Amino acid sequence: MPKKLDWIVSGWALLAGVLTLLIVLATTINTAAFGADKIARLFGANVAGLAGYEDFVRLTISAVALMFFPYCQRRKGHVAVDLFADHFSVQIQQILEKIILVLTILLALFLAYWMSLGMISAYQDFASSPILGWPNWPFYIPGILSLVLWALVAAMQLREKRTSE
């Protein structure tokens, strides 16, 4: 695996982690505001939650959800079913792994294609979040890039399999 690709994939996962922490922070603040509001109502006051919290979380999660996939593929941390494959010969296991890598590449590119069409549709429809009014289409970009990176990592792993034989 090229070091530059490994660096990009690791940085991408780190960015996803930072965004996940922002989601947790926003959720914590909003939950604390909800609790504080319950107490404040006893005294005739109120405490508002974060305006647009749902919009922020929904849009950010839509970006973050796929950002971990390339890193997971790089580290081979994906779900693997080894219960029955362990009983096969090494040659059959290698063939199965190649088939799975090819299918992973095809799946990731297929999803990237359809996500691109979804992004174009969201852009053309001027789709936006209901509270904050943020346009939805830019939040497709991290997902599309993640799917392309995922396919690229799987392709590099497939290439490594071929060159190591």
3-state SS record for 7-63:
HHHHHHHHHHHHHHHHHHHHHHHHHHHHHHHHHHHHCCCCCCCCCCHHHHHHHHHHH
Q: Is the pLDDT of residue 62 over 70?
A: yes
The mean pLDDT of 152-162, rounded to a whole number, is 90
Q: Which residue has the higher pLDDT, 2 or 78?
A: 2
The mean pLDDT of 102-130, rounded to a whole number, is 97
What's the whole-model pTM score?
Answer: 0.85
Residues 6+ apart with CB under 8 A from 114: none
| Cβ neighbours of 138 (radius 10 Å) | 13
Give the chain's end-to-end CA distance (angstroms, integer): 16
What does the alpha-carbon distance between residue 117 and residue 131 come to, in Å, rounded to a whole number?
Answer: 25
Can you list the alpha helix ranges (DSSP code H) found in 43-140? 53-67, 69-74, 90-124
pLDDT in tens, 13-49: 999 999 999 999 999 999 998 888 888 888 888 888 8
What does the alpha-carbon distance between residue 26 and residue 34 come to, in Å, rounded to a whole number?
Answer: 12
Lowest mean pLDDT among 2-6, 37-41, 153-157: 37-41
Two structure tokens written together for 100: 């799975």
Looking at residue 123, its pLDDT comes to: 97
Looking at residue 104, its pLDDT comes to: 94
Two structure tokens written together for 134: 């943020």
The mean pLDDT of 83-93, rounded to a whole number, is 80
Could you tell me the residue ranges of all domains in the chain?
Answer: 3-164
